[in-house]
Amino acid sequence: MKALVALVAIVLMACGAPGRAQVAPTAPAQTTIPARSGDLVWGVNGHPTTAYGSVTLDEQMAAVARLGTTHYRVGSRDDMMEGMLDAADRHGVTLLPIIDPDIDFERDSAERIRATAFNAARTIVNRYKDRIHVWELGNEYEIFAIIQPCETRDDGTKYPCEWGAAGGISVSEYYGPRWEKVSAALKGMSEGVRAADPTALRAVGTAGWGHIGAFERLKADGVQWDISVWHMYRLAEDEWAFKTLAEYGKPIWVTEFSHPLGSQKGAEAQARGLRDTMVWLRTMRPYGVEAAFVYELLDEPYWSDFEGVMGLIHLEKNARGEWVLGKDKPAFEAVRSTVAAGR
C-alpha cells in the first residue's frame, strides 16, 4: 500500500511493536489454510490495532466471516494479540499478523536493525506459536531502498538525475547503503521466526508496482522465506511478475489488492473493479498464486485522502460522535458473491 501512497497519497496505518502480553498455553491453534478446495484463500486487510474508532473486534471478525473470507491481515501489536485471536476464533477467522519491529531505517545501523528485528520476531512468535502459523515479515520495506535520481548504483555508475525514482524491476534499482538496512531487517525477522518456531511459515515480499528486483537481492543476501508476497492495485497487469515469482518455487500470496482509489470514482466502479480483479487472480493459480487479501475491510473517513474510501463497509458517526459500523458498500457484496462463486 505504501507504493500506492507514493502514487496517490494514500496513508497506510502503521502496525504496532510487540509488547508483553501472555497467551494461555491451552489456547486453540488457528488453521493455516481454510478447508477450501479448488479456489484461492481469500482474506481482507484491517487496522484493528490503530484505527476504526468504536468498532469492536467482534464486529470486525463478524464482518470478515460474513464476507465469506477466512483470513484477516492485521498488525501485531502485542497488547491486542490475545484479544484479536480470541475474537477471530469465535468467528472462525484466521489472522495473518504483520511483524513490524520498532526500527528507524534512517538512523539505526544495519547491525542494530538486524538484532532488533530478530529479537522482536523471536519474542512475539514464541509467545503465539501455538496459535499462529503464518507470519508476514514487515510491510513494503523495500520502498525505503528504491534508488533515487543522481544516486550511485552498486556498479559505481550514476542513476540518471532526469529519470525520477527507479521502478525496482532490476537488482540495480535499489540503493546499496539503504538496501543493506532493508535486508538486515528482513533477515533478522526471518531468523527470529525460525528460532522461535521452526514450523512457522514466513511471508516476505514487496509493494508490487514492479518491485520484483528485491526478491533476487533477498535471495543473494541469504534471506530465507516460505511465501512470496506481492501487492496489486491495478487490474490484470502483473502476470509478468507472477511468472517471475513462480521461478522461486514458493507459493505467492497477494496480501493487498484493491480497485485503484477505492470508491473515489464511484461505489459501483469499486465493486466492478474488485470483482474483475478477483476473477482474474483465479487465473493466476498456475503460477502459484494461492491467497489474496482485499484492501480493506472498513472505510476510514477520518482521513481526507483515498484511504478514507478504500473500505468495503462505511463508517459513520453515532449520536455521541463515535465512529461505528455503517452500511455495506456495493463492493462488499461484490467480494462476498465472488468468493461464494468459487466454492
Rounded Cα distance, 247 and 239, in Å: 13
List the one residue out of 100, 84, 91 whose CA is nearest residue 132. Answer: 84
Spell out the domains of the chain, with CATH numbers in brackets. 2-12+40-341 (3.20.20.80)
Residues 336, 337, 339, CA angle at the centre, nearest 5°? Answer: 65
Summarize pLDDT for 83-107 with one digit per residue, the tens.
Answer: 999 999 999 999 999 999 999 999 9
pLDDT in tens, 213-238: 999 999 999 999 999 999 999 877 79
pLDDT digit string, tens, across residues 4-30: 444 443 333 333 333 323 333 345 556
What pLDDT, on a 0 to 100 scale, did the predictor assign at position 77? 85
DSSP string, 119-166: HHHHHHHHHHTTT--EEEE-SSGGGGGB--TTPBPTTSPBPPTTS-S-
Q: 328: closest CA among 343, 340, 316, 341?
A: 316
